[in-house]
Each structure stands twice: as structure tokens, then as C-alpha cells.
Chain A
């Protein structure tokens, strides 16, 4: 046996996972109760028992490249049933968090996003950026006038300025994701092939993308959540937040097109169809519904996390940060709208400014934060679908 695998435990890895909600991982004594209760555990592969011992041995390579870790939706059945209180669900969650950080570039930013001590700096950065850019460009007006008799945020913080910041921010996020995903997919594929757990051993990017419709439908329908026993109610809140984001993304896209489209049509910035748009506008209805969904979803999530039994699930900084972000976006977004409608000019400008800061955080810190699961999990599910994870399992059984 020449190809024995050398085991080199990484204690730092164990400690990092510990800081991310998996402080109990060393409690596992390999009874495999988790594998029995796990709705996605295959019959012939003890998932997540194997992952648990790999974690307690600090074998980071074995875990961060493991597609199965991403197929877990943290339903919590394993943690609830674990006789040792090892919380396998949280261990897998911490591994995902570790993987997000590992694949993100630049690393210093990834570290900062995952470090609670750096939170004030990360939040102060957009504030300073906005003000400096606003002063330099003159697109920020501290004594804004009304537009057609209405308060308009664009008079305070020009749409130009907004897009000048957010278009590059989004591009930055996309580039970071693209770089990370390339490595992620390659590593995941190599590991899966090495372990013989997939039917396809080649990597065809086009075919990978072809798997998208089915996977996206699964995600939108929250099918995986409904397989859960313990955390079933999570499906609703997750759905509210996800659809809230999607709705707001559509609204933003539509108004982006409307603004610049009308500007091109009329050939004038002044004549273009500017916000605020009428509350009778159907797109505005979508915006309000999505905003409220986001707010309610995030509030229920917060409540659930606050009152969750720590023996079943423990929330890490990454969990709180994400809920904070979503809640911040929703509260400031709706707050800015409401205060605008009641005519509280100063309040609405301030709230709007904070809202923009949250949006900046959403875009720029996205590839480094827990929210990156949106991309990584989707890709992992895509890969599993493409490579025939299910078929391979059936064949092995």
C-alpha cells in the first residue's frame, strides 16, 4: 500500500471551527446517530459521521472541498438527536463558513469580515467613502431641495453617485466570486472523483450550467428544507428573506432601466423618470411587499436564534452578522420610505444614508460573509446534480 494518506491534523482549523459555532465538535464519539437521522445521508456513506471525525482530527482538506457539506441545509436533526451534544449541524455550518473564507480573495478582507473586532471599520468605510466621493464630485447635497414638491433622496444623494459606487461594488463581488468559484469547483471535483462519489469524472462547464434550471427550481421551492424534521419552520423565514431579496433586486433592476432608459429617451437627466415613484405603480407594490417580507423574515429569524436551545444550535458571529445586515437593510429601506412619505426630511436623508451603507456592505462583503452561501451552495448543488451524486450513491449501494 504505497498510497497511504498522511494524516496531519491542523489544530488551528479545529480552533477556528470552534469559534464559528462548532465548539462542541470534539465531543463526537462516532456513534453515527447523526447519519441515521440525517435526511440527506446516503444509505452507504455515513454522513455526517465521517465529516465529524475529519473535523475533530483537523483535516481541513477533507472538509472544505467536500460537496456533501454544502448539500446540508442545517436542518438540525442531527444536532437535536446527538447523544453527546456535538452538534454536527453547527460543525458543518462552521466548515462552510471556513470554506467561504478560504476561497475568497483578498484574504485580508475575508479575515476582516469574519472578525467581529473589525466590524466598526468595515461599517465606517462606506460612510467615509460616500462623503468623500460626494464632496469631491459635488453629487451630494446637504441642503437638498424638493423635486416637484416631493422629498427626493436623489436630491440629497444623486443617483449618479449611488451608481458610481454600486456598479463597481457589484462588479467587485462578481469578480471575487468568479475567482473563488473556479478554485472551489475544481477542488470539489477533484475530491469527489478521488473519493469515487460522483458518476461523472470530467468537468464540463457548459453541462454544469445546464443543470441550473432544475437546481434553481429546487432552491426556490425550498424542497430541501421540507425534508427536515427539527427546523422545518425555517423554510418559511428563509423563503421570505430570499424572495424579499429577489423582489428588491427586480425592483432595483427595473428602476435602473427606467431611470437610464428614460434619460436616454429624453436625452436629459432632468427629464428622466426619477424616484420617488408613485405608490400606485405596480413595481412599487412589489418593492413594498418584498421589503416587508425581508423585514418580517429577518425578525422571525432573529427571534428564533435568540430563543433557540443552545444544545441544538449555537449562533456564531457570522450568523448574527447576516441577520443584522438583512434587518438593517429592511429597517433602513422601509424607514427611509416611510419617513419620506410623512415628510420628515432630515430623518429620511439620514436613514437613507445609513441604508446605502448597508447596501454597500451587502455587495462588497457578500463573497466573504455567510451570505456567500447563496452562491457556494447553489454551485455545489449544481455540481452534485451535474456530476450525478445521487446516481453514484445508488450504484454504490
Chain B
């Protein structure tokens, strides 16, 4: 399809005062032979929009709106049938730089606008119209792993919406932990009273729902394929079957006996040996069941203290020292008694922190353990009119309206709370003596107790087992969740429920410790996400975070060298590879971040509207003034900008009229992970004096929308430094800077300091060649 261009240069919002828009069109567009150029003092007005609409109706399919940021008025400048590019003359040019002086030799604003307009022109030439990827057969069924309150709620919500759901539960009956408690925390306002377990009612609803299939005593052996067409093999726990998921080779097996890295063939042999008896991930189970999306609600288990752990609290020393999980079972069976002699346990001390001089809580403890202690204290009072329950905590966490429950429990005259550091639990006669320091009641106190309960935390089951057993080349579980104590990562700042695996949505206590109330709410969220996934996959668009993006990576396999970088670096495990190492794309697993595009040394991975060539051409279109043009030519600095964090920060800087060097040129990228080093090389080879990558925080507290993008970029930039040295260019000319979305105020400093640094280095020696 041939392209028909339309350029629309706005002069509103101060653009017309600072720039000569007519001259801009003449110098850049008419020079290139473009004739369809229109001007208006407010293209966002109905009149302005009508102008563009009329052109689109007349066949214009490549629209360039040179006005405000691409992040604003997206609904206004939306013209179905045409690809739209926005040139940010307002926030990035006129709002963030002073108007040029009359009669000066150089007009920096005009030059900047020229560059941005040229970039847009080039981009519109280079990009193609994306076509959605559609699966041949799409399964709309949802698999729920875990039959506790979370899983059942997710199943009910999804099924009520009309989707077929299968619940897989490892145990022989539904209910999970919720089925074993005596009472549960309040579920409705005013959140003051415990309630009888609601799990039986849930089980009844699930059992009678025509769209829900329940498989108890069943677990997932493997999930192969991709969202919309997962092939799932189920099995009985303990069984060994051909379709058990294979594991990737551990690093020590990837080398030969001399420590040399194995080649692809060698690796394939080792992999076969390592996964003896298990089919490769690319072999689909012919008997497997098809699912479209997965909800992971496998829950938690109580923290299991190691042998001798918490000995100072009498654990393992006295049968009357128990964990909160054990206490719950005792309480569910009847009035609480002392395990040692069966006498009533009328004085119960709930210890919330291991103490002994340490302020921290028990491992995996949380607000839930605080609330459970309050709930269990009530049991003591329910069982015995003269019962006394003591809670000694370092941290009492009752967030939100659970504060009401805390207040209600506190009212009980027989429940006593204090912050304190438990020093020891000792035996005294047939009962126990709890010693505590630094309490609210004094420095050194002791309390007589019949029973001591320790507040063990909730460990996600993903601590022990991948659970989802994904037949993915990167491995069966979720990568790097150790960062989150093995809770299933969901880059929770922005995207709750989402895991690092598209189409798999986590809910409930596997995600973080939660009460049943929270888990049920969480389940609804995950169910909606699973539905969103199905309803995006069926249209061939990305689910998140680039919701609705129709593009997907296109591989030019003839030139692939099987280096496996794309497979290994994809943050979402979207790529599998065959025995030779050739990547096998799974487009519906993809989140369109372009990390593979940035990783590929052969530059054979591209998107229809975002390619190595399109961005490279934009970079190369930047005008680099030389001594032929001016006596003192200004520098040119390329800034590759993450469009999720840094780009909005730049807009906000403009909105706040913050000023920074006019020598920089911004080129937005989907993620710093998509930055291919060739762009930097291109920039330096045309005489651009320095290049900066501006993106989000990486590291343990990363903010990357694509988890690993900015981290990978930093690794690649270190490598490019070495390459620059070999070209006799200072490695300082290339840098990566972090800027969070709310740190717009930092922008001028970050930019100006780099520009000054490059100025000090002097101009790029390749300039003018």
C-alpha cells in the first residue's frame, strides 16, 4: 500500500510565537517534496481536526501532527485508517527553551523543530502498517490452579462472566486453608467481628456451577504453548510422567570438563540427559487439554521452623509452645487445651516477634499474622470466661479498616496487648513463663502462661515448587522471584496480578500474604485480567502494558546465528528455541517491549512500526551542524528516551517550563531494553557528540514496565564503552541515566550536566566526515 502523507503544523500554545512554522515546512518538508502541509492555530479544535479528517477521508494514510506531546489528546488525534505520528513541538521545544534572540546567527529552537519534524518524516516513511497475529485455534477456557477461597472465587467470577473454568486442586477436597479454620476475619463493614467460615458456601456454589469443572487430587504436570492455546497436562501428585516439565540446565552443566562453554549441539545432548524421560518443551502433549489463560491461586503454607529454630521461645522444648497454624487446628477442634496435660489453656501468650534483642518479626510475618493473633486471642476468650490472652508484638499491623477489628478485640477486658521484645519462654512448674523486655509496661516483665503461640508467616508455595510448570525454555517457574521472597512477582507498582509470564495471573497469598477477604478481592482482579488476556489474544493485540498494540516481533530467520540472546534475555520467556538454538516465537506471550530487538546482534528482529531501521533512520536524520555551517557549531546529543517513565517526565518538565540545553534531541523508545547499540554507533558516526539513555530505575527496586529492560540496557552500555575506546572515542560520551516518572524536576540537571561534560570533552572528531 502506497503512503500518502499529510503534515499538520500547529501554531497554538505558544508554538507560533517561538517558531517560524511556515519556514519549518519550507526547509524540511517542501525540500523533500512533500506538498500536503497544513497550518492551524489549534489543530485540536473541531475545525483543526476536521481538516485532518477530510484529508484522511481523501486517502491520506500517514499523518504527522506537529503540535503537542503524543501523550496528550490521544483521542482527538486518532484517525482510523491512518498511521499517526506526533511531533512534540510544544512540551519538548517551545515550553522548555527560551525564545531565540532576534538576529542571532543560530536559532536553536528552529533547528530543534527541524530535527523533530525530519525525524517524524523519516519515521512515517519507514514504518509499516501492523497486522495482528491471530491464533488458528483459540481456547477461551481458564485454568485455575488452587481450589482454596482464592481459586474458587476467581473461578466463580470468571464462570459467571461466561467463561469455562477448570479448577485444579492438589488436595482431595476443595477449600484449602480456609476449610481448616474455626473462624475467619471479618468480611464486611464494620469489620469488628469474626465470622464463621464461608468456605462451604463457596464450595457449594462452585460444585453447582455449570461452567466450572473441578479436578481434585490433581496437579499441573506442564503448561506448554502460549496464551490462547496453552496445552496443559494434568497428573496425580507424585506420578512421574513423560509430560512432566523439563528443567533448563543449571549453569555448572553448561560447560565441559575443562570449563569451556558447550556449543549448541553439546548443550542439546546434556539437556536430554538431564531431563531423561521427559518430553522436550516443544513436544506438545496430544492428550493435553487446551486453555487460554491461567489463574495461579495455589496459596501458601505456614513457615516451617528449622530444627532448633526459636529454641529460646521454647519451640521444640515444650509441647505447650505451638505455632499459630497449630493453634488454629487446636481451636477448630474445640476449647483450647494444653497439649502437655490436656488442661484448659486459659492463659495464652501470642508472641509476634522472635525478640531476643531483635526488632524483626518471624519470617514471612505480615499484617495477616497480626490479625490472626487478634482473632485467636478471641478464641481464648470465647472458650473461657476467665481466660486471658496476651499479645506481645514488635509490630501490630492492621491496615485499612482492619483497624476496626483491632479496636474491637482490644475492647475485650481479657485481652492484653503490648509492644515488647520477648527474651525467653521458660518452664515453671507445669506452666510457662514468658519473659519480655522493653514493653510498654516496663523494662523487664514476665507473664505466666499455659500456652505460647508463635506467629509463623505465610510462605508462598512457589518457595518450594514452580507450581505452574511452564514448558518454557527459560524454565518452569518465574524468574528472579527471590527478589520478592519467592512471592510470585507481579511488577506490583503498576500491574497487580501480572506475573512475568503473560497469560498467567497470580492471586491471593501466592502473591503476597493476604487475608481471605483480600484474597477473594484479588481473585476477582486476576479473573478480570485472565479475561482481558483472552479478549486481547483473540484480536491479536498485546494485553499489557502496551494494551492493544497490534505489532509483534518479526524474525528474519535466514540471518539468525542461533546465539540465543533473544531467548535468554526476553523478560517474559516469550521465546523458546529448538535443539539448534533457533528461536521459536510465541507471539501471544510477547509484551512488545522490543528487548529481543535490542539484544539481536544481527538486527533481524523488528516490529512493523518500530524497527532497527526506523529508529536508526530517525537518529541519522538529526542535523549535525559543523564548522562549515557556523563558526562555533552547537553540539548535538542524542537522548534515547524510555516512553514509559522518562518521556512523561520530559513532558512534565515542559509543562513546568523547566529549561535545559537546546543541544539535545529526544528519540522515544519502547523500553531501554529495545535499544540496539547500532543506533549509538550510527549517532557517533554522523558526528553526534554524545548519547544518553534515559530510562527507569533498575536493580532490586526496579520500576521497569518490562522488568529487565533498563537493566539489560545498562549491561549493553558497559560493553559499548569498550567498543568506543577502540575507536579512540571517550566512553563517557555514552551514558545511561535513571529518571522516574515523577522526577521531572531532575531532568534539567541530568541533561545539562551531561551536555557540559561532553562540551568539556570537545566535539566528536568524526564530525563532518
Contact = CB atoms under 8 A, between A and B. Distances in A.
Interface in B414-444: 414, 416-419, 423, 435, 437, 440-442, 444
Contacts of A26: 410-413
A26 B407 CA distance: 9
Interface residues of B, number: 24
B713 to A, nearest CB: 47
B448 interface: yes
Given A53-B418, A54-B441, A59-B441, A6 B410 contact: no
Contact of A7 (B406, B407, B447): B447
A57 B419 CA distance: 13
Contact of B410 (A1, A3, A29): A29
Nearest to A29: B410
B446 A11 contact: no
A30 B393 CA distance: 13
A7 B413 contact: no
B411 A27 contact: yes
A7 B388 CA distance: 12
A53 B440 contact: yes
A329 to B, nearest CB: 37
Nearest to B419: A30
Contacts of B442: 5
A111 interface: no
B447 A6 contact: yes
Contacts of B407: 27, 29, 84
A11 B413 contact: yes
A9 B346 CA distance: 13
B655 interface: no
Nearest to B412: A26
Nearest to A84: B407
Given A26-B412, A57-B416, A11 B388 contact: yes
B445 interface: yes
A59 B388 CA distance: 14
Nearest to B440: A53
A346 interface: no
A14 B416 CA distance: 11
A92 to B, nearest CB: 17
A195 to B, nearest CB: 10
Contacts of B437: 1
Contacts of B419: 30
B503 to A, nearest CB: 45
A29 B405 CA distance: 13
B446 A4 contact: yes
Interface string B176-204: 00000000000000000000000000000
A29 B374 CA distance: 14
Given A11-B388, A27-B407, A27-B411, A6 B446 contact: yes
A7 B445 contact: yes
Contacts of B423: 1
A5 B410 contact: no
A48 to B, nearest CB: 13
Interface in B439-477: 440-442, 444-448
Contacts of B444: 1, 3-5
Given A11-B413, A27-B410, A53-B440, A6 B418 contact: no
Contacts of A4: 435, 444-446
A348 interface: no
Interface string A1-29: 10111111101001100100000001101
Contacts of A56: 410, 416-417
Contacts of B418: 53, 57
A15 B411 CA distance: 11
Contacts of A84: 407
Contacts of A333: none
Contacts of A5: 441-442, 444-446
B441 to A, nearest CB: 6
Contacts of A57: 416, 418, 441
Contacts of A11: 386, 388, 413-414
A58 interface: yes
A5 B418 CA distance: 15
A30 B445 CA distance: 18
B144 to A, nearest CB: 40
A58 B388 CA distance: 11
Nearest to A2: B444
B440 A14 contact: no
Nearest to A59: B441
A84 to B, nearest CB: 7
A90 to B, nearest CB: 16
Nearest to A46: B440
A14 to B, nearest CB: 4
A47 to B, nearest CB: 14
A140 to B, nearest CB: 50
A216 B745 CA distance: 64
A11 B411 CA distance: 12
A197 to B, nearest CB: 13
A27 B414 CA distance: 13
B399 to A, nearest CB: 14
A208 B445 CA distance: 33
Nearest to B410: A26
Contacts of B445: 4-7
A18 B414 CA distance: 13
A57 B441 CA distance: 9
Interface in A328-349: none
Which of A8, A53, A54, A84 is most buried by chain B, counting CB atoms within 10 A of its CB? A53
B175 to A, nearest CB: 35
Contacts of A14: 413
B411 A9 contact: no
Contacts of B440: 30, 50, 53
Nearest to B442: A5
Contacts of A15: 413
Contacts of B406: 29
A4 B446 CA distance: 6
Interface in B376-411: 386, 388, 406-407, 410-411
Given A27-B407, A53-B441, A57-B441, A9 B446 contact: no
A124 to B, nearest CB: 35
A177 B714 CA distance: 83
A9 B416 contact: yes
A57 to B, nearest CB: 5
Interface string A175-215: 00000000000000000000000000000000000000000
A57 B416 CA distance: 6
Contacts of A59: 441
Contacts of B414: 9, 11
Which of B386, B388, B413, B446 is most buried by chain A, counting CB atoms within 10 A of its CB? B413
B413 A58 contact: yes
Contacts of B447: 6-7
A62 B309 CA distance: 36
Contacts of B411: 26-27
Nearest to B446: A4
Contacts of B446: 4-7
A138 B574 CA distance: 113
Contacts of B386: 11
B441 A9 contact: no
28 contacts: A1-B435, A1-B444, A4-B445, A4-B446, A5-B444, A7-B445, A7-B447, A8-B448, A9-B414, A9-B416, A11-B414, A15-B413, A26-B410, A26-B411, A26-B412, A27-B407, A27-B410, A27-B411, A29-B407, A29-B410, A30-B419, A30-B440, A54-B441, A56-B416, A57-B418, A57-B441, A58-B413, A84-B407
The 7 A-B residue pairs with the shortest CB-CB distance in the complex, in nearest-first order: A4-B446, A14-B413, A4-B444, A26-B411, A53-B440, A1-B444, A5-B445
Interface of A: 1, 3-9, 11, 14-15, 18, 26-27, 29-30, 50, 53-54, 56-59, 84
Given A4-B444, A26-B411, 10 more contacts: A3-B444, A4-B446, A5-B446, A11-B413, A27-B411, A30-B419, A53-B441, A58-B413, A58-B416, A59-B441
